[in-house]
Chain A
Amino acid sequence: MSYDRAFLVAAGRDALRKLDPRWLWRNPVMLVVEAGALVATAYAALAAFEAGRRSAGFDIAIAAWLWVTVLFANGAEAIAERRGKTQADALRRTKSDTRARRLHDDGSIEVVASATLRKGDRFVVEAGELIAADGEVIEGAATVDESAITGESAPVVRESGGDRSAVTGGTRVLSDRIVVRVSVNPGESFLDRMIGLVEGARRQKTPNEIALSILLAGLTLIFLVAVATLTPFLHYAGREPDTVVSIALLVCLIPTTIGGLLSAIGIAGMDRVMARNVLAMSGRAVEAAGDVDTLLLDKTGTVTLGNRQAVALVIAEGADAADAAGAAYLASLADETPEGRSIAALAARLGASGVQPADATVVAFSAYTRMSGVDLADGTALRKGAPDAVLGWIRARGGEPARDLGEHVDRIARAGGTPLLLARNATALAVIDLRDVLKPNMAQRFARLRAMGIRTVMVTGDNPLTAATIARDAGVDDFLAEATPEAKLRLIEREQRLGRLVAMTGDGTNDAPALAQADVGLAMNSGTPAAREAANMVDLDSDPTKLIEIVEVGKQLLMTRGALTTFSIANDVAKYFAILPAVFAAAYPVMHSLNVMHLATPQSAILSAVIFNALIIVALIPLALRGVRYEPKGADRVLLENALIYGVGGLILPFVGIKLVDLLLVAFHLT
């Protein structure tokens, strides 16, 4: 992302505004720097008026650079927030004030501003209108253009009942008329929360951020004591200590690098989540994603493409292949489901053709009969469906199915297919082999997850045989077959009892308890309000595999904090060597031999350290915003690499940096 002038000016203004101690108190490290800057400024002012005081220029320079340090840290936060705002504004534009037609109990309709809609209100939307608020379709069905929030241009169907009932405020209805019940009060929608999070205004520190802040505050206290006691110690040595120098030493020692960038890292993490079109309820949820041990993935839509395809027609004993294909074709012509269409296509490939007789009666699939088909005018009945259901139907008509059917059915199931039985009147003709189609590249993604230490569990309603085969083909670690909502919930609870953090995706109302129980629940935007409410993240693109990316963002968030903390602490070694000889040179001139970096003068040494300390914050802003790269290589390997880069690097870099600044100061006669 490039920053234009206006963006940087705005961020600069924010940085100045954040100098307010009431804002800065949330960040104890930078608050100490600001207090130091204030005192140094007072000293510099006194020195400037005190005629002949040699160190006025030095005091002014230190005071100025301390202010710059605070401003840089504030700037980092401001840039992160501004970036979030840019993204949030884009989202918010979809929320621009719309009119809503509120539906009263008596059926009357009143036109109101969308902002006045409360949870539980109902409103009517027709083709061409914007949906005024988040809610659930309770009446009718419509195609909706959700491109405003998802970027996906193809319209989607939203209808009452079922798992496709949720609509989002700001999206447009393209056809038909629906009645929507509002599911959130103004200001509480996912979008509102997300905007609040990235703008920093309502950002709460995450648990890990709080723990790190405590550590940083503790370190600050230790260094505060170390530097404050130096004043009496120097006094004992017969020297009057220079307060400005002490402040400079303190600011260099306390962990300003991580202290200055900590909140920017957090905001940028949320921002990266949002850039993936996922709305998170809290930073805590994103952080938890980094810790996930077990990932529950729905088979359909995640592991496999949503629909099964007919791949073979296994002819029953005594039946004729061409006849069976023709029957399969006829039985599926009216079936508009993807499975039905794939059966018709398969039959056509096997030579069947023709059109539906006009006088045929279509028997639709129902959850009760678990089969579908046609009844022809000549009394011929064709059925296809779950083997046991169709067998029952055959027997009810006095037929006796061929004996080899059971074998075929079992074999297909064992191989991971779904067997459908095809029958005409009282005779079984064939078994249709429906196969799941695996999504491409999923095996690699599961391998990557395994390398991260995450176990994937595929959840499916299939029987254990089918599930085992698909699980093996897809490369997931485990599966839950014949999953009911209760079984899912029990699985999550069992994993959690073992101390594992569980993430899952879901969209249906019956997923809601499991989504709520999971540590990280990612609901699909297309899902029901119940699912979205139970989850702590919503994926606007309704792509269940998105969870993998969120896990990586969570890990990056923690890694960036750890890397910069290590870097910040390692920096101290060089700073001691830069500043201490300079601090003590006045008390004990022999101490000059500790000046291993051969910095020009005590003043230039201290100033160089302070300048380096400020500049390193700016230099690391891009890293804080981007995050440390995450590669799943195993913890020990990752630790070694990062320890080398940020630990050893943090040890060496300031020696070089401070020396360079010192050389520049000398070259430009600034000492």
Chain B
Amino acid sequence: MTAAGWSAALAFFGIVALLTKPLGGYLARVFEGQRTPLSPLLRPLESAIYRVCGVREDAEMTWYEYAIALLLFSAIGFAYLYVLLRTQAWLPLNPQHFANLSPALAWNTAISFTTNTNWQFYSGESSLSYLTQMAGLTWHNFVSAGAGIAIAVAVIRGVARSQTCRLGNFWVDLTRACLYVLAPVAFAAAIVLVWQGVPQNFSPYRQVTTLQGGAQTLTGGPMASQEAIKEFGTNGGGFVNANSASPNENPTPLSNLLELVLMFALGAALTYTYGTMVRDTRAGWALFTTMAILFFFGFAGAYAAEAAGNPLVHQLGVAGANMEGKECRFGAGASALFATVTTDTSCGAVNAMHDSFMPLGGLVTLANMQLGEIVFGGAGSGLYGMLGFVVLTVFIAGLMVGRTPELLGKKIERREVQFAILAVLVTPVLSLLPSAIAVMVPAGLATLGNHGPHGFSEILYAFTSTNANNGSAFAGLGPNRFYDYATGANMLLGRFAVIVPMLALAGSLAGKRAVPAGPGTFSTRSAVFVALLLGTIVVVGALTFLPADALGPIAEQLFLRHGVTFR
């Protein structure tokens, strides 16, 4: 590890921390319907959208109406993308004349983008038309992130409000998230990326002859516009298969920093939005602190592992960090940082191959996702996922104070515990069970790139990543129909099996009366609470995976020490 590597990470995190309050405050204003600097420009457009769509702006929804609106919206979005993928050959803006996707791959891809996962079993530059990328994928990059933010805001309202059954209007929240938050930031970021050299065109790919005389295809297309929202909406689906490792998607250190900041910005800002909307900003900062601690632990682990390098390579006389699967221009530090950030959030964009990380570095990326993407997390999903853990922690620890546990004055009772544990159950149960099925059926083992513990890590990573709606991959695992359908189903469950109980939890909390705090009430802003929350997350969220992880990356690391590798 170098001072430069650490100072880059600290500088990056400093920027995120500085952005948290202004962006979070802005989000709160947007979703509380207050005027913002962008209102003069966007308000007419917003009203026009409601008029055209017949949305009544002031008609708020109960939790199940909200959930049904989201499910309906997602179902239609899925069907739309599925049709687009199955018909792209006959549609315009397809200069490379790509064919239609197979049903299995279209199902997988359509779900992948509807659920904000962006798991890629396809290779963007060699199978998707510009129309599909722009009107299909980029559309979902916006609305799936927008839907995530809307859910987070609805859940926050559940905590903040009392004695109501209404959580807001899904259509309004979705529109505002896209219009006031995602579009302006993505637009500005895209301009910066274009300035840094990311392509933004509709040209066919260029065939060039390299200096050495070889033939090379230069990919073109509307990349910068997709790149910006890819990071900011924590989508992660690259325009090209190499994702942010490609010089086209991520050309410079500045673009790399920007992409990192974009990934964390929303997750961090939403903690402040939470604090503002529940009228206890310190409670919001407590969540921020918890997430920051988990982030730095992860980064330290990944960076240490990558910087230490591979002992087997060292034996060959090559000293230094593990550089397999990394861009030389990023090196161990920036790669470990990107890998930590992309798996902390549900982004899944990569600037290095996680598959090639040292086993312990890979363990960090795996473990980050196993926590359920709550370390800043996905657009919206990070916050509502974290609130599930908050409710459980408040319940367990709050009892120790000698009162029925309260979250900001709301009693945590049977229904709340039930919905929180349901939401928290999803990640461990739906990552481990399908992995177990995969290692038992021939189709699950057919496309493994490696064997032994590393092959197992690839399977575990695939189902953890899809379940957590991350979308990054241990690239060794190839697609087949089993994985197309299995990971597809897993992405669906990973998103909606968490959202529905969390909305139900919010609905239940919203209906409660808030008890004014007294000296006997338990506060969710203290250092003790942060420590207890961390404990709950680690023991309930992470240690559950310890047996499985032990058979994957941990075993691999131990074998490596004895000089054993797996092909």
Chain A interface residues toward B at CB < 8 A: 207-208, 210-212, 214-215, 218-219, 221-223, 225-237, 249, 287, 290-291, 293, 450-455, 498-501, 554-556, 558-559, 561-563, 565-566, 569-570, 572-573, 576, 580, 583-584, 587-588, 590-591, 593-594, 628, 630, 632, 634-636, 638-640, 642-643, 646-647
Tell me whether B545 is interfacial, beta carbon within 8 Å. Answer: yes
**How many chain B residues touch the partner (CB < 8 A)?**
72
List CB contacts (< 8 Å) of B466-499 with chain A.
none
List CB contacts (< 8 Å) of B530-545 with chain A.
531-532, 535-536, 539-540, 543-545
Q: Is the CB of A584 within 8 A of B550?
A: yes
Least CB distance from B552 to A in Å reads 9
Residues 404-437 of chain B, each 1 if its beta carbon lies under 8 Å from chain A, else 0: 1100010111101110011011001100110111
Residues of B contacting A642 in the complex (Cβ-Cβ under 8 angstroms): 400-401
Q: Is the CB of A218 within 8 A of B440?
A: no
Contact of A638 among B392, B401, B531 (CB under 8 A): B401
Q: Is the CB of B439 within 8 A of A580?
A: no
- In the complex formed, the residue of A with least CB distance to B538 is A573
Q: Considering the chains assembled together, what is the distance between the CA atoms of A532 and B469 in angstroms? A: 58
Residues of B contacting A636 in the complex (Cβ-Cβ under 8 angstroms): 522-523, 526, 528
Q: Is the CB of B519 within 8 A of A590?
A: no
Tell me whether B205 is interfacial, beta carbon within 8 Å. Answer: no
Residues 536-567 of chain B, each 1 if its beta carbon lies under 8 Å from chain A, else 0: 10011001111110110011001101101000
Task: Name the segment of B16-24, B93-101, B361-369, B509-517 touching the other chain.
Answer: B509-517
Residues of A contacting B440 in the complex (Cβ-Cβ under 8 angstroms): 232, 235
Q: A229-B435, A499-B514, A635-B519 are in contact. Are A215 and B551 (CB under 8 A)?
A: no
Residues of A contacting B422 in the complex (Cβ-Cβ under 8 angstroms): 218
Least CB distance from B394 to A in Å reads 11
Q: A218-B421, A225-B429, A499-B516 are in contact. Are A566 and B400 (CB under 8 A)?
A: yes
Of B397, B456, B522, B526, the most chain A CB neighbours within 10 A belong to B397
Residues of B contacting A249 in the complex (Cβ-Cβ under 8 angstroms): 547
Tell me whether B443 is interfacial, beta carbon within 8 Å. Answer: no
Residues of A contacting B516 in the complex (Cβ-Cβ under 8 angstroms): 498-500
Q: Considering the chains assembled together, what is the distance between the CA atoms of A555 and B402 in angstroms? A: 4
Chain B interface residues toward A at CB < 8 A: 162, 392, 395-405, 409, 411-414, 416-418, 421-422, 424-425, 428-429, 432-433, 435-437, 439-440, 445, 452-453, 456, 513-516, 518-523, 526, 528-529, 531-532, 535-536, 539-540, 543-548, 550-551, 554-555, 558-559, 561-562, 564
8 contacts between A and B (CB under 8 A): A207-B414, A219-B421, A222-B540, A226-B548, A234-B551, A291-B404, A588-B559, A639-B532
Contact of B435 among A222, A233, A590, A632 (CB under 8 A): A233
Q: Is the CB of A630 within 8 A of B402?
A: yes
- In the complex formed, the residue of B with least CB distance to A500 is B515
Q: Considering the chains assembled together, what is the distance between the CA atoms of A565 and B411 in angstroms? A: 18
- In the complex formed, the residue of A with least CB distance to B398 is A562
Least CB distance from A596 to B in Å reads 13
Q: A232-B440, A453-B518, A499-B409 are in contact. Are A222 and B544 (CB under 8 A)?
A: yes
Q: Is the CB of B412 within 8 A of A211?
A: yes
- In the complex formed, the residue of B with least CB distance to A450 is B519
- The 7 A-B pairs of least Cβ separation, nearest first, read A453-B520, A562-B399, A555-B402, A218-B421, A562-B400, A453-B518, A229-B436
Q: Is the CB of B555 within 8 A of A210?
A: no
Of B401, B404, B539, B545, the most chain A CB neighbours within 10 A belong to B401
Residues of A contacting B403 in the complex (Cβ-Cβ under 8 angstroms): 290-291, 453, 555, 558, 635
Q: Is the CB of A230 within 8 A of B547?
A: yes
Residues of A contacting B421 in the complex (Cβ-Cβ under 8 angstroms): 214-215, 218-219
Q: Is the CB of B554 within 8 A of A211?
A: no
Residues of B contacting A635 in the complex (Cβ-Cβ under 8 angstroms): 401, 403, 519-523
Q: A233-B456, A584-B555, A588-B558 are in contact. Are A287 and B543 (CB under 8 A)?
A: no
Q: Is the CB of B520 within 8 A of A225?
A: no
Q: Is the CB of A580 within 8 A of B547?
A: yes
Residues of B contacting A647 in the complex (Cβ-Cβ under 8 angstroms): 532, 535
Least CB distance from B396 to A in Å reads 5
Contact of B402 among A556, A583, A590, A591 (CB under 8 A): A556
Residues of A contacting B545 in the complex (Cβ-Cβ under 8 angstroms): 226
Q: Considering the chains assembled together, what is the distance between the CA atoms of A59 and B417 in angstroms? A: 37
Q: Considering the chains assembled together, what is the distance between the CA atoms of A236 and B520 in angstroms? A: 53
Q: Is the CB of B439 within 8 A of A236?
A: yes
Residues of B contacting A225 in the complex (Cβ-Cβ under 8 angstroms): 428-429, 432-433
Q: Considering the chains assembled together, what is the distance between the CA atoms of A632 and B402 in angstroms? A: 10
Least CB distance from A550 to B in Å reads 13
Q: Is the CB of A591 within 8 A of B555?
A: yes
Contact of B550 among A222, A499, A580 (CB under 8 A): A580
Residues of A contacting B456 in the complex (Cβ-Cβ under 8 angstroms): 233, 236-237
Least CB distance from B398 to A in Å reads 7
Residues of B contacting A562 in the complex (Cβ-Cβ under 8 angstroms): 396-401, 405
Residues of B contacting A234 in the complex (Cβ-Cβ under 8 angstroms): 551
Residues of B contacting A215 in the complex (Cβ-Cβ under 8 angstroms): 392, 395-396, 417, 421
